Amino acid sequence: MEGGCTCGAVRYRMTSKPMFVHCCHCRWCQRETGASFALNAMIEADRVVLLRGSPEAVDTPSESGKGQKIVRCPDCHIALWSNYAGAGDALHFIRAGTLDEPDRLTPDVHIYTASKQPWVVLPPGTPAFEEYYDRNELWPEESLARRRAALVD
């Protein structure tokens, strides 16, 4: 899957499917996106290939206090992905809306639903949590193995 920013200065390709897709309803994501939630596809950084441009990382506060880097196009400033302190630069949280075909990714889980907008209706059958969850109970073993391998390097 390929994606990029609005102005076209930055283009990227994900060379595999993501490990897991979060739909986060926390107030921080709502503020950062200006929307009701953020849809983030977690993938190893080495599985994201830049096709064009040089995005820049902007250090941004986070609710955890550990911060995050939001990687943006230097021209139109669209957020392409985030890197959270817990995983450092090893994992990218791709903003699914920047994909050419964002409808190919659906959430594997809804998180921080305690602060979701009341008019957002969650689909039946997709796990949802008021806060975070235990990934060992929800992620497929293949995704857990990929995460372990990415964080070891």
Separation between Cα atoms, residue 9 and residue 28, nearest integer Å: 27
Using a pLDDT cut of 90, give the percent of the chain over it: 84
pLDDT, mean of residues 115-128: 96
Please give the backbone phi and psi of residue 26, each rounded to the nearest 5 degrees, phi first: -70, 160
Hey, which bits of the chain come out as E strands? 2-4, 11-14, 20-24, 38-44, 48-52, 56-60, 68-72, 79-84, 91-95, 109-111
Q: Are 67 and 59 in contact (CB under 8 A)?
A: yes
Q: How confident is the model at residue 153 (pLDDT cuts 50, 70, 90)?
A: low
Is pLDDT of 65 > 80? no
12-50: per-residue pLDDT in tens?
A: 999 999 999 999 999 989 998 899 999 999 999 999 999
pLDDT confidence of residue 38: 94
- Domains defined along the chain, listed by start: 2-152 (3.90.1590.10)
Nearest to 120 by CA among 26, 16, 6, 47: 26
82-114: per-residue pLDDT in tens?
A: 998 778 899 999 999 999 999 999 999 999 999
